Amino acid sequence: MQKRTVGTNGLEVSAIGLGCMGMSFGYGPAKDTTEMVKVIRAAVEQGVTFFDTAEVYGPYINEELVGEALEPFKGKVTIATKFGFNIQDGKMAGLNSRPENIRAVAEASMKRLRVDVIDLLYQHRVDPNVPIEDVAGTVRDLIQEGKVKHFGLSEAGAQTIRRAHAVQPVTALQSEYSMWTRQHEAEIIPTIEELGIGLVAYSPLGKGFLTGKIDETTQFAAGDIRNTLPRYTEEARVANKALLDLLNQFAERHQATNAQIALAWVLAQKPWIVPIPGTTKIHRLTENNGAAAIQLTADELREIETASAQIQVVGTRYTEQMEKSTGL
C-alpha cells in the first residue's frame, strides 16, 4: 500500500484508509465485535495505517472497537476521531463544541481508544454557537499539552477553515467526496489546496451505491440511514444507474470492479486526498485496497469528466435537516 501525506504538518498515512463507522452505527444494528476486530486487523495486514472513528458512532462503541482492534499496533497506525455533539440517553442531542466539552471528549476518547495521544482530532460539525477561533484554540492547547497531534475539521466551509487555520494549522478536512458528490470542488478544495490542508474523503463509494451492488430492489435494514436519504429513493436509484454504467465501462477496461474505479478516481484527483471507504467484510476490504494499484490515465480522467458532466445525479445527498445536524 502506497503512502500519502495529508496536509503540510507531516501526517503520512496509507493512500486508502478505513472508515469504521458502519461497523457500529448508521447502517442498521452494530455488527459482531469479534468479527469487526478481524476486519480492522486484516486492514493493518494489508497495509492500511489510517482508521476513522468518532465518539457518536454508537455512541462510544465504535471507538471502543477501534481501540481494542488496534491496541497491538500502537504507534504504527493513525487513528482519527471527532468531537462536537452532546450525547444524551445514548443518542446525539445537538451540537456542542464548547471548549470544556472538547476537553472532556478528548480525555474520554483516549481511554476508549487505549492511546496516550489522539493522532487526528476533528471537529465533527461546525457549531454556530461557538466561535471557530475558540475551537481551534482549545485544540491548539491540547496539542501543546501532548494530548493531540493534529487538528481537523469536517464539512466546514471555506471561511471557517481559514479562520480556524489562522489560530491552529488544520492538517485535514474530512468531507464527503466521490464521483457523485462533487460540490466541494467549487470553493473548498481550492481553499485547502492553497492552505496546505489535506482532504480525507468519506463515503467515496457513495454509501455503497457506486459499487454497483445496490439497485432499486435492494432493501436496507431498519435503522439504515439510506432509508431516509433522497439519493436512495427507488426512483433515484433507477435514475442514477447512468453513473454506474460509466463506471462499469472503465472497470471492464481495467479488469477491475466499479468500486475500484470509483476509488481510483478519487485518488487521481489530488495527491493529498485520502479516501476512507468503510466495510464490514474482509473480501470487500481487499477489493477496496486494490484500487490503490489502479492508475487512470490523463485521457481516461478527461473521458470520465466529459461523460459524467452529461449525467444528472438525482436526489440530494442528505435531507435539509440532516445537512444541518448529521454526524455521518
pLDDT in tens, 95-105: 999 999 999 99
Average pLDDT, the chain: 96
Residues noted as catalytic: 57
List Cβ<8 Å contacts ≥24 apart for 294-300.
Answer: 294/254, 294/256, 294/260, 294/261, 294/264, 295/264, 295/268, 296/250, 296/261, 296/264, 296/265, 296/268, 300/250, 300/253
Residue 321's pLDDT is what? 79
Tens of pLDDT, residue by residue over 22-57, are 999 999 999 999 999 999 999 999 999 999 999 999
One-letter amino acid at 100 equals E
**At 86, is the secondary structure helix, strand, or coil?**
strand
Alpha helices (H) along the chain: 33-45, 61-70, 99-113, 132-144, 158-167, 188-195, 234-239, 241-254, 258-269, 282-289, 298-308, 320-325
**At 83, is the secondary structure helix, strand, or coil?**
strand
Closest to 179 (Cα-Cα) out of 232, 279, 246, 230: 246
Please say whether the beta carbons of 124 and 85 come within 8 A: yes
Residue 320's pLDDT is what? 81
CA distances from 102 to 65, 133, 153 (A): 21, 13, 13
Quote the CA–CA distance of 153 and 291 in Å, as a whole number: 26
Quote the CA–CA distance of 251 and 27 in Å, as a whole number: 27
Residue 164's pLDDT is what? 98
- Evaluated on CA atoms 113, 116, 117, 121, the torsion sign reads positive
Q: Cα-flanking dihedrals φ and ψ of residue 152, to 5°? A: -135, 160
Residue 66's pLDDT is what? 98
Summarize the confidence of residues 128-146 as an average pLDDT.
98
**At 78, is the secondary structure helix, strand, or coil?**
strand
**At 174, is the secondary structure helix, strand, or coil?**
strand
- How many other β-carbons are positioned within 10 Å of the β-carbon of residue 140? 16
DSSP string, 14-70: ESS-EE-GGGTSSBSSPPPHHHHHHHHHHHHHTT--EEE--TTTTTTHHHHHHHHHH
**Residue 328: which pLDDT band, with cuts at 50, 70 and 90?**
low
Q: Which of 227-236, 302-311, 318-327 has the lowest mean pLDDT?
A: 318-327
Please say whether the beta carbons of 184 and 152 come within 8 A: no
Q: Is the pLDDT of residue 326 over 70?
A: no
Put simply, whether the predicted model's pTM sits higher than 0.75 gets the answer yes
Query: How far does CA 209 lie from the centroid of its chain?
Result: 16
Summarize the confidence of residues 230-235 as an average pLDDT.
94
Domains of the chain with bracketed CATH: 3-211+269-294 (3.20.20.100)
Q: Which of 67-81, 222-236, 281-295 has the lowest mean pLDDT?
A: 222-236
Please say whether the beta carbons of 292 and 32 come within 8 A: no
Tens of pLDDT, residue by residue over 267-307, are 999 999 999 999 999 999 999 999 999 999 999 999 999 99
Residue 319's pLDDT is what? 85
Q: What is the DSSP letter of 80?
A: E
CA distances from 166 to 74, 140, 200, 305, 314 (A): 31, 11, 20, 34, 38
